[in-house]
Amino acid sequence: MLGAIATPLSPTLALAASEVRVLTGDNSSATQRAVEALRTRLPRLMAGSEIEALSRRTGPAVYLAIGPAALRALVAGGLRAPVVSLFTSSQAFHQIVGSALAASSRITAIYAEASPEHQLRLLSSIFQRRVSVGVLLTAETAHLEPLLTQVARELDLEIQFHQVRANTNIVRELNRLTAADVLLAVPDTGIFSPDNFRDILESTYRRGQPVVCYSQGMVTAGCLAAAYASVEDIAAQAAETVAEVDAGHVPPPRYPAYWRVAVNDSVARSLNIVIGEDVRRLGERPTGTR
């Protein structure tokens, strides 16, 4: 048991060295739920929405930024302490951190969305055969193309991309991917917005084209399925990251290590897609969770 406590990644041990300070961007119930999930993993964390109050505390610290507003505040605050961005998408993280990331190795992230690899693994498991996957990208997310191509190749999936220009009608751009058996959604505010998400889904419905998304909420909204990381998954990985940081190593920004599957059974049934229990059980769970 002592050996287990003494592992470098043990959150308990890490806490002994650094104080974990959680900056929240708002006071919503969702944020509160995230803080509570973190607290179960990091019992002595300090949480607050004022960066000044947190930064007045003394001693070594690791800052956790919940959401993009908090991250933005921490980046602007110029703190020297390590910062771990949580619940912020990869696109938003890079937009906010930008050059600051290049200049500093103290800012890292656990992106909000599941990794493209996990998404494609899920997609491959659902269809159980070589299918054509269509992906819409913008200039902001074009960097994902090599990664997606590589993973698709490993999973024996065919993948096709269409890069949309700014200020175009995304629904019409879907026409460029009509040959795809399934669409893969990647987080990109240039593509998916509150204004067009419903239209995008309805357009794919009319074509009988399922969409695999990256969050549970999107599945609820009408995607076929998603690989996603729950709040508890993110919290568990955050605790591990804090331990790494406290041990002197700030890992690079990364996708959630823990993930699970959400399925919209109504959509699956309507599209005559049978999703078995083995697919639903895909993913990686933190120790002690289901």
| Site residues (CB under 8 A) for other proteins, limited to 83-122 | 86-89, 92, 112-113
DSSP summary character for residue 176: G
Near other proteins by CB under 8 A, which window of 101-109, 115-123, 181-189, 282-290?
Answer: 181-189
69 binds other proteins (CB under 8 A): yes
Task: Name the residue nearer to other proteins (CB basis): 79 or 164.
Answer: 164
Please, what is the angle between helix 68-77 and helix 90-97, to 10°?
20
Q: Which stretch binds other proteins (CB under 8 A): 14-22, 101-109, 140-148, 227-235?
A: 227-235
> How does strand 46-48 pair with strand 19-24?
parallel
Mask for 28-47, x = binds other proteins (CB under 8 A): x-xx-xx-------------
Q: How far is the CB of 46 from other proteins (least distance, A)?
A: 19
- Single out the segment in contact with other proteins by CB under 8 A; choices: 1-9, 14-22, 212-220, 244-252: 212-220
* DSSP structure class, residue 260: E
Q: Considering only 54-62, 82-90, 135-143, 246-254, which stretch makes contact with other proteins by CB under 8 A?
A: 82-90
Residue 284 has a CB neighbour count (10 Å cut-off) of: 13
Closest CA to 42 of 61, 28, 27: 61
Residue 47 beta carbon to other proteins: minimum distance, rounded to whole angstroms: 14
Is residue 282 packed enough to be buried (19+ CB in 10 Å), middle (13-18) or exposed (0-12)?
A: middle
Is there a contact between 205 and 224 (Cβ–Cβ < 8 Å)?
no
**Binding of other proteins by 267 (CB under 8 A):** yes
Which residues contact residue 104 at a Cβ distance below 8 angstroms, ignoring those fewer than 6 apart? Answer: none
289 scored as a contact of other proteins (CB under 8 A): no
Quick check: 255 binds other proteins (CB under 8 A)? no
218 binds other proteins (CB under 8 A): yes
Residue 153 interacting with other proteins (CB under 8 A):
no
Can residue 155 be called a binding residue for other proteins (CB under 8 A)? no
Q: Smaller CB distance to other proteins: residue 141 or 230?
A: 230
Candidates 126, 212, 227, 235; binder of other proteins (CB under 8 A) is: 126
264: helix, strand or coil: coil
Kind plus residue range of the DSSP H or E element containing 232: helix 231-246
> What is the total count of residues that contact other proteins (CB under 8 A)?
75
As beta bridge partners, residue 113 has 228
Backbone dihedral region for residue 272 (phi beyond 0: left; psi -120 to 50: alpha; all else: beta): left
Spatial separation of the C-alpha atoms in residues 198 and 203, rounded to whole Å: 9
Stretch near other proteins under the rule CB under 8 A, chosen from 48-56, 67-75, 100-108, 236-244: 67-75
3 state DSSP class of 287: coil
Q: Please report, for residues 99, 229, 232, 268, 284, the alpha-carbon distance to residue 236 in angstroms, rounded to integers and kept in the order given.
A: 28, 10, 6, 31, 12
Task: Select from 9, 46, 155, 231 the one that contacts other proteins (CB under 8 A).
Answer: 231
Q: Which one among 59, 78, 194, 288 touches other proteins, defined by CB under 8 A?
A: 194
270 touches other proteins by CB under 8 A: yes
105 vs 199, beta carbon nearer other proteins: 199
The number of beta carbons lying within 10 Å of the beta carbon of residue 218 is 24
- Cβ proximity to other proteins: between 60 and 276 the closer is 276
